[in-house]
Structure 1
Amino acid sequence: MTKSILTPTTTPHDAKEKSLRPTSFDDYIGQEKNLEKLKVFIEATKIRDDHLDHVLLYGPPGLGKTTLAQIIAYEMGVNIKITSGPAIERTGDLAAILSSLKERDVLFIDEIHRLNRTVEEVLYPAMEDYALDIMIGKGPSARSVRLDLPHFTLIGATTRAGD
């Protein structure tokens, strides 16, 4: 549901559009084998009382990758932040998003294959170590500061296989 440019509140059309999107695995149609695997994955995570491991969703446009990411967050009982690869232009953009996450939140990056290489290099340690290394200053007096991040789940969506 997004705010309309013309009206500051959501319209009945917006509510209807949101209600058409499935909100749980029971409402999702298709991809039964993948859904069963995801259900096991999520159930095991809940039993461990842990965050979900990172996920990469691949498929053509319109297949339901964004919807599936929202369902995963719903089934886990956590919040989801949604963005896209092209929207994260600088490492500072990524740092702002990551530092706003809470423990076990889901970060969904649509078109993750379109992330800029520099941003990718910052994302790797954030995914592996749940930390950001930030450089403060320039030249010989520059120093690195490590910012610990909450354990989050990155769900990336791509239309490209193996790139």
Structure 2
Amino acid sequence: MTAFKNDPAVRAFRDTLGMFPTGVTVVTARGADGAPVGLTVSSFNSVSLAPPLVVWSLSGHLACVPAFENAAVYAINVLAEDQQALSQRFASRADDKFAGVACTDGTDGVPLLAGCCAVMECRPFAVHPGGDHLVFIGEVIRFERDAERKPLVFQGGAYRRLA
């Protein structure tokens, strides 16, 4: 895996993909033991309005893969522009990413992060292999948004703010 990551062609492709700005989300769920799990994900997008479907992907080598594959419900927490520290926390390898983080329980106890500009609770619809990632399609069963809050944006390897 390390040789693959150090491949100049892979780096160039990643940098090219980075030209596309994305929102920043933290996807959360409960593991088999009931403990909260979560990670920062920028590969989020809409798929369908009827039924309401969204898509995101997860690197297949991560230890949290089984938690998301087996979750009855997971949440897409769309981070607000003042939540960069939260994005960095959930992108880290910290043992307890939820320590001191304000959240509430949604459907089936799924952790919902406070202060986000939008939150979508999803039931699994499909999971597909996608190269070195798994592609998750979720059916949105509940959602809310705070139209007053602007989203956190990531582009070119850096956090950005909307004008």
Q: TM-score range by the shorter chain?
A: under 0.3
Q: TM-score, normalised to structure 2's length?
A: 0.25
Name the one with the larger strand percent.
2
Task: Answer 1 or 2: which has greater helix percent.
Answer: 1
